[in-house]
Every structure is written in C-alpha cells, then in structure tokens.
C-alpha cells in the first residue's frame, strides 16, 4: 500500500454473528485481519511509536496507525482480540461529554435502527413521517449541499446523505425527540 503521507485509519463499528449486528460501515473480525494483511504489519505502527515519530517529524509515507472512535462495545468485543493477537497497540478515543454530565445517544439510536428495522431505508421512511415540514422543499433547497456531501463521501447513499443533512439542520433537542 502506498500513500503520499502517513495515515491513521479510524474504526467505529464491528459486527459478528453473536451480539453485534451488521450495520453500515461495520466490519467483521475476518475483515479486520485481511486489512492488516493488506496494509502489511510492518507498516502499522503502535500508537506510542506513531505519536513519537509524529512529534519528531519522522513519519514515513508508509507509516500507518489505527484509531478507534467513541470506545464502543463492539470494538472491545471484536477488534481488541485482533489487536492483541497481532500485537498492535492502537489509539482509543472516548466520548468525553459524559464527564461534563451530557449524554450522547448516537449509539443507542444506532442500536435501535439495527435491531428494529430490516434496513436503514425503512428507518428513514418512518423518521420522515414525523417531520412536520415540507421535506421535498427542504431537500430541494439543500440540493447543493447533498451533492457536495455525495462527492466528498461517495460511500454514503443519497438517502444516507439526505438524512444527515436533515439531522444536521435540526436542533439536537428536536432530533433526539423524534
């Protein structure tokens, strides 16, 4: 794998056949092993080494590290086993809002969508049913933003992007209420 600059590969969700269902962007333990093999173990730096080389401005263009966002349960149940067996140490970044007395329900919402809907588009349809303004007009008004995001994030479907544009335009209170 060649890159023009060092990189961190960020992970969120993992799935298995036991308690973590497949969801958008999730990968399995086998997928994770294949990714490590593809990158090459020699190109994956442990977190401490990556940080040390970064501080000393000595990172090479093939240097890679792994980061895990939000310290969610599936990372510990699935990814940690892979990291330990391959002797890779990674960065884990935790939600800090809980330390300020604030909650973040994104994982709870994801769990709900994955466990109570056969697919994400069915969830979007139900979500849109409770919106009390003209969605067609909203999406037309935001067409430019939708196209920009599609170009920037080609792995999202148009339905995914429309949902995110709508969610981002809402107040957190209204979003959580719906």
Hey, which residues does 68 pair with through a beta bridge?
11, 92
C-alpha pair distances (Å), 131 with each of 14, 56, 127, 141: 31, 52, 7, 16
pTM of the model: 0.77
Tokens in use for 19?
């308690």
pLDDT band at 104 (very low <50, low <70, confident <90, very high): confident
Query: Is the pLDDT at 135 greater than 50, yes or no?
Result: yes
Domain residue spans in the chain? Answer: 7-98, 117-177
Tokens in use for 57?
């401005």
Q: What is the rounded radius of gyration, in angstroms, for the C-alpha atoms of the chain?
A: 19
Mean model confidence pLDDT for the chain: 90
Q: What is the CATH number of domain 7-98?
A: 3.20.20.370
């Amino acid at each position: 794998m060649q890159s023009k600059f060092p990189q961190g590969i960020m992970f969120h969700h993992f799935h298995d056949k036991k308690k973590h269902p497949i969801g958008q962007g999730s990968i399995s333990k086998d997928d994770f092993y294949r990714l490590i093999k593809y990158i090459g173990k020699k190109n994956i730096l442990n977190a401490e080494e990556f940080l040390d080389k970064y501080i000393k401005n000595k990172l090479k263009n093939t240097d890679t590290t792994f980061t895990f966002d939000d310290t969610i349960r599936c990372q510990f149940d699935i990814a940690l086993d892979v990291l330990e067996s391959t002797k890779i140490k990674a960065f884990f970044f935790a939600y800090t809002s809980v330390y300020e007395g604030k909650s973040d329900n994104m994982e709870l919402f994801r769990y709900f969508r994955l466990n109570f809907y056969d697919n994400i588009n069915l969830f979007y349809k139900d979500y849109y049913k409770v919106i009390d303004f003209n969605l067609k007009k909203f999406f037309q008004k935001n067409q430019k933003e939708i196209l920009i995001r599609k170009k920037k994030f080609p792995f999202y479907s148009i339905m995914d992007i429309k949902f995110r544009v709508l969610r981002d335009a809402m107040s957190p209170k209204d979003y959580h209420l719906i």
